[in-house]
Amino acid sequence: MIAHFLNDLTIFVLAIFVGYEIISKVPVILHTPLMSGTNAIHGIVLVGAMLVLGGADTTLARVVGFCAVVLGAVNVVGGFMVTDRMLQMFRKKSGPNEP
Amino acid sequence: MIHTTSLGAGIHFAYLVSSVLFILGIKGLSSPRTARSGNRLAAIGMLLAIVATLLDRQILSYTWIVAGIVVGSAIGAVAARTVTMTAMPQMVALFNGSGGGAAALVSSLEYRHLIQAGALPLDSGISILLGALIGAISFSGSIVAFGKLQGLLPEKAVTYPLQQVVNGLLAAAILVLAWMVLNGSGGSHAFIAFLAGSLLLGVLAVIPIGGGDMPVVISLLNSFTGLATAATGFALHNVVLIISGTLVGASGTLLTVLMCKAMNRPITNVLFGAFGAAPSATTSPAGGGAAAMAGKPVRDVSVEDAATILAYARKVIIIPGYGLAVAQAQHALRELADLLKARGVEVVYAIHPVAGRMPGHMNVLLAEANVPYEELKDLDAVNPEFESADVALVVGANDVVNPAARHDSQSPIYGMPILDADKSKHIIVLKRSMKPGFAGIDNELFYDPKTMMLFGDAKDSIAKLAQTVKAL
C-alpha cells in the first residue's frame, strides 16, 4: 500500500514542476484560451467517473456514478469545444479582410 | 493500479501517451500559431484515455457509462456552440464546476466502495476527503461565480458581520467531520455532512468577492478542480488522473498569481478583502472623496464634434473595456477604426491586462471582430505612446484608466497599473451613464477638463461616429 502511495506521490511532485514549467511561457493574450484549455484537461476526471460507475452495484451508486459521468463529459466536450471556438478567432487573417 | 495483465499494461501505456499529449497540448497553447493544434492534441489525448478506460476490467456494465457520456457530451456541445464570446467567462466557470462536481461524486463513491470492502486505509481516506472537499468547493464556488457574472446573483461583494468568523467555524467543523470519517466513528452520516459543509464553504467563500475579481476566482477554482482530480487519482491509484489534474493545478495556480500581479494586489486581498462591496458598507475616506467628485461638472460632447476630433487626429489610441463587450460593439468599433485608418489616422488598441473579465478576454473579443494582432498593444508597450496621442478613445472601460490608482493612496485600486489615457491631448469617453465601474469607484478622469463624455449605448454611439466620419 505504502509503495503505491509513494509511487503516486512521486508522479504528483514531478507533474507540479512540469505544469509550472510549460505554463510560465504563455503570453497574456492566450491566458483565457489557456484557462479554458486546461479546464478541459481536468475533465479527465471523467475517467475516474467511468471506473467507479463501471463497478457500481446498487441503484444509488449507479445514479451517483451516472451524474459524475455526465458532469465529467460536460467538462471535457464543452471545455475543448469552447477553447477551439476561441482559438479559431486567433487565426492569422488573410485575403479579403486585408485592407 | 499496477497492472499485471497485458491488457492492463496496454491501458497503462495508453494513459502515458495521453499524459504526454496533454503536456504537448498545453505547450502548444503557449503560442498563437500552435494554440489550436495544441488544444486538438489535448483533445486526442482525452479521447485515447476514455477509450482505454472502456477496456478496463473494473468496468462490468457499459450501458450507463455510454448513456452518461452521450448525455454529458450533448449538453457540453450545445453549451459551447451557443455561448456568446461575451459570456465566455461564466461558461468556463460552469464547465469548471462540472469537473469539480464530478470529482466530489467520484470521491463519494470510492468512499462507499472502500467502506463496503471493510476498511478505509489512511492514504485512500485522506485522498478521498481531499477530492470531495476541493471538488465540492469548486462546484458550488463556480456556480456562485457563474451567478454573479450572469447577473443572477448580486455582483457586489456580499458582506455580513463576523463573516470571517463564520467561515472559520465552518472550516473547523469540516476538519472535525473529516477526523470522524477517518477514524470511522462518524460513519457515512459524517461523510455526507462533510460534503454538505464543503459545498457551503464554496458558496460562503465566493459570495464576499466582487464581480470584478471573478476572473481571479475562476482561475483559482480551475486549479482547485485540477487538484481535486489529482486527489481522485490518488484514491483510485490512477496515473493519468494524477498527472493531468496536477498539471492543471500547477498551471491554474500560476495563472492566478499572474492575474493578481496585473492588478498589483496580493491574492489574500482578492479573496478576503471584500473588494467592491456595496458603497453603503464602505465608510472609508474614498467613499467621501467619490461623493465630493459627483458634484463636479462633466463635459458632454456631440457625435459631430467627437467624429471631427477623431477624423483629424494623427494618432488615436482606443481603450476597450468590458462595456464594449456588453454592447456587442467590437465589430462596429473595428469599422470605425478602418474608416479612420483609411483617412491616414494611426490607430492602436491599448489592452489592459485585466480588461474584460478574464485575462486576454479583450483580445478574444477583438480577434472575433477581425482586429489584426499587431494593433493590440499591452500596457507597458502602449503607455509611453499616450503623450504623443491626439485622442484616447475610451470605450466602456473605467477602472483601468482611473488616475486615482497612481496617486490616491485611499483608493481601493491604488497601486494597480493603469493605462495613462489622461496623458493624451484629448480623451473621449463612450459611456452609458455616470455610474461607477465594476469596482464601484468613481473615476476622476471623467471630470478632467480634457475629457469629453459621449453618453449612450456604445454600439449605437460608435455606429453614429462612423457614419459622421464617413460624411466628413
CB contact under 8 A, B241 and A71: no
The closest of B217, B181, B213 to B197, measured between CA atoms, is B181
CB contact under 8 A, A88 and B36: yes
pLDDT tens digits in sequence order for chain A, 99 residues long? 678 889 999 999 999 999 988 876 667 677 788 889 999 999 999 999 999 999 888 999 999 999 999 999 999 999 999 999 988 876 654 433 433
The closest of B203, B311, B218, B313 to B259, measured between CA atoms, is B218
Q: Which residues of B touch A75 (CB under 8 A)?
A: 72, 76, 95-96, 98-99, 102
Q: Does B57 touch chain A (CB under 8 A)?
A: no
Q: How far is B350 from chain A (nearest CA, A)?
A: 12
Q: What is the DSSP string of B159-212?
A: --TTHHHHHHHHHHHHHHHHHHHHTTSSHHHHHHHHHHHHHHHHHHHHTTS-GG
CA-to-CA separations, A36 to A29, A83, B38, in angstroms, rounded: 13, 6, 13
- The residues pairing with B69 across neighbouring beta strands, listed in sequence order, are none
Nearest CB to A23; choose among B75, B94, B255: B255
Distance, CA of B451 to CA of B463 (rounded, Å): 21
pLDDT in tens, B165-219: 999 999 999 999 999 999 888 888 999 999 999 999 999 999 988 877 888 899 9
Distance, CA of B202 to CA of B225 (rounded, Å): 12
Q: Write the ipTM.
A: 0.92
pLDDT in tens, B234-286: 999 999 999 999 999 998 898 888 777 766 677 887 777 666 554 433 333 33
Task: Provide the grid cell at B329.
Answer: 460593439
Q: How far is A79 from chain B (nearest CA, A)?
A: 6
Q: What is the DSSP string of A25-94?
A: T--GGGHHHHHHHHHHHGGGHHHHHHHHHHT--SHHHHHHHHHHHHHHHHHHHHHHHHHHHHHHTTSPP-
pLDDT at B40 over 90: yes
Q: Does B23 touch chain A (CB under 8 A)?
A: yes
Distance, CA of B181 to CA of B176 (rounded, Å): 9
Q: Give the active site residue among B213, B399, B420, B422.
A: B399
User: pLDDT band at B154, cuts 50/70/90?
Assistant: confident
CB contact under 8 A, B91 and A78: yes
Distance, CA of B34 to CA of A68 (rounded, Å): 32
Q: What is the DSSP string of B210-264?
A: -GGGHHHHHHHHHHHHHHHHHHHHHHHT-HHHHHHHHHHHHHHHHHHHHHHHHTT
Q: Does B360 touch chain A (CB under 8 A)?
A: yes
pLDDT of residue B438: 59
pLDDT at B8 over 50: yes
B399 is catalytic: yes
Question: The domain at B297-471 falls in which architecture?
Answer: 3-Layer(aba) Sandwich (3.40)
pLDDT of residue B274: 64
Contacts of B367 (CB under 8 A, 6+ apart): A89, A90, B373
Nearest CB to A78; choose among B95, B112, B226: B95
* Domain residue extents for chain B: 1-82, 86-277, 297-471
